Structure 1
Amino acid sequence: MLQVTGIGAAAVLALSACGSSDSDSSGSSSSSSSKASSSSSKASSGKKVSGTVNVFAAASLKESFTTLGKQFEKEHPGTKVTFNFGGSDSLAAGITGGAPADVFAAASPKTMKTVTDAGGAEGKPSTFVRNQLEIATLPGNPHKVSSLKDLTKPGQKVVLCAKEVPCGAAAQTALTVSKLKLTPVSYEQDVKSALTKVELKEADAAVVYKTDVHAAGDKVEGVEFPESEDAINDYPIAPLKKAPNAAGAKAFIELVKSADGQKALTDAGFLKP
């Protein structure tokens, strides 16, 4: 009887230990999962991300990328994200000319091709968002602009992006589709400069991106036009071959493509790829 009782007690102890082990394992797994989600880019790159990440990005990405840059620095203590925002064509020229950069996010495949053709990109660029044109008018739309054709009326002071800049090329596509001719009062080197002309009341309207109208708030009023659907721009992103911080470049791009990154971009008015 003593032997049987001893065996039974041992079995109870063994089962208790097993249950305790399962509980500890579950808690450890949950903790590990939480840590992994907060440092996904660090784990996937296989290296601790540190130092400065230098991102060259299209001007229209300024607000959303600035937000993501702050998030990146929070997730990777000790890092710093610096941005060079501007016209994609001039950024591409800078990169091919040897400017130190880790990431290039362009507003069109054509401007990205300038970099890839020169052998400057590491791997194949991928589209992470798309953007659509919209007319930005003065608050209250005093000139009653309701279509792209309205911008061709005599006396209208309209600003466009330069034709070699993605927003300018897209505007030219929309005008061609509409069979319209428009002579602007000025061609600007990036979309933010075009929008600023309206914000300062130096122009009555500008053809910019929906994201820029969104970012301007009540400084301008947006007018949609159907021809913009024929001139939607894909935005490609790529790490650069001579990136001083390759691990940081990879981690930043992973954040941009993540659920958090995509939410920040769509909240800013970008379209999903």
Structure 2
Amino acid sequence: MLSIWLGFLGVLGGAMMGCTAVSTTAPPKTAHITILAASSLTDAFTEMGQAFAQAQGNDVDISFNFAGSSSLAVQLREGAVADVFASANETQMQTAVSSNRIQAESIQIFATNQLALIVPIGNPASITSLADLANPGVQLVLAAPGVPARDYSDLVLQTLDAETQAKIYANLVSEGQNVRQVVAQVALGEADAGIVYRSDAAASVADSVVILPFPEAQSVLAQYPIALVADAPQPALADQFVTFVLSAEGQTILAKWGFGPAATQ
């Protein structure tokens, strides 16, 4: 709040003939929406929110809660107030549907992602392929079970034989509660390798890690659904946000941060 006090007709003795207070308080935002979004969407949705607010004439206030999709689904089940849920996989979206917090008919796939191996700069464990994660002494970090990135990682590892898979899981030294934690551990040199979304590896840690894309035979397509929360405080505005995400401008922002278009586009 900015307040300006104007004194009129001041005299040398410090006497004041009159004083008037003028308030120039900025008008409040017309609406507030809360978006629950997978941590891998942090950079893209932060920019998305800014662009959406600008398109709305800056008359909307947007709050984001970025976390692992499984954690967000739990928050919804426990009654968290929100308008939109953007998950990194369909499993956690269906979990939210099962708790009667999502308008099932509003679910749409809005983006895709690819997984990749990342290693620290210098690649101390000399990893060049997925099978190298089974080498003795390799320190591997993955997302925790239930987190979409872990579900996708397990699918990638299933392209290998059972013996190699067992050796790889034996090298697992840490599990992140979201994919950003996995990226951070590898970037800090706390692990020899991790499996993450390519969009995360291409963001703020580009100078700290080396990205090793998977060959086509080991590639898994991650699909991201978005939906309206059933009891959203601002349903109309929430619907406009989802429409914006699916628009050409929204898709351009997602592409900038390493996401692919929905498979149906």
Both structures adopt the same fold (TM-score exceeding 0.5): yes
1:69 paired residue number = 49
C-alpha distance in 2, partners of 1:241/1:190?
25
Match status 1:185 vs 2:173: yes
2:195 paired residue number = 207
C-alpha distance in 2, partners of 1:110/1:238?
13
1:21 paired residue number = none
Q: Which amino acid aligns with 2:118?
A: A
Query: 2:157 pairs with 172, 175, 181, which one?
Result: 175
Give the C-alpha shift of residue 262 in structure 1: 0.4
Give the C-alpha shift of residue 113 in structure 1: 0.2
2:220 paired residue number = 231
Contact 2:106 2:228 in 1 (8 A): no
Give the C-alpha shift of residue 142 in structure 1: 3.3
1:127 paired residue number = 109
C-alpha distance in 2, partners of 1:50/1:110?
34
Match status 1:95 vs 2:76: yes
Any unmatched runs of 5+ in structure 1?
Answer: 1-48
C-alpha distance in 1, partners of 2:31/2:47?
18
Give the % identical residues: 36
C-alpha distance in 2, partners of 1:197/1:232?
24
Query: 2:123 pairs with 141, 156, 180, which one?
Result: 141
Q: Which amino acid aligns with 2:49?
A: G
What SS does the corresponding residue of 1:160 show, helix, strand or coil?
A: strand
C-alpha distance in 1, partners of 2:134/2:114?
20
1:54 paired residue number = 34
Q: Which amino acid aligns with 2:33?
A: V
Match status 1:80 vs 2:69: no
2:93 paired residue number = 112
Query: 1:266 pairs with 247, 251, 255, which one?
Result: 255
C-alpha distance in 2, partners of 1:113/1:240?
12
What SS does the corresponding residue of 1:178 show, helix, strand or coil?
A: coil
Contact 1:50 1:248 in 2 (8 A): no
Contact 2:114 2:219 in 1 (8 A): no
The one-character-per-residue Cα deviations of 1:39-80 (angstroms, maximum 9, x if unpaired) are xxxxxxxxxx93111000001000000001111121222211
C-alpha distance in 2, partners of 1:176/1:205?
18
2:145 paired residue number = 163
C-alpha distance in 1, partners of 2:217/2:257?
18
1:42 paired residue number = none
C-alpha distance in 1, partners of 2:228/2:30?
16
C-alpha distance in 2, partners of 1:139/1:239?
41
What SS does the corresponding residue of 1:221 show, helix, strand or coil?
A: strand
Match status 1:195 vs 2:183: yes
Q: 1:88 to 1:240 in 2, by over 3 A?
A: same
Query: 1:154 pairs with 122, 132, 136, which one?
Result: 136
Contact 1:174 1:228 in 2 (8 A): no
Q: 1:178 to 1:148 in 2, by over 3 A?
A: same
CA RMSD of aligned residues (A): 1.5
Give the C-alpha shift of residue 172 in structure 1: 0.7
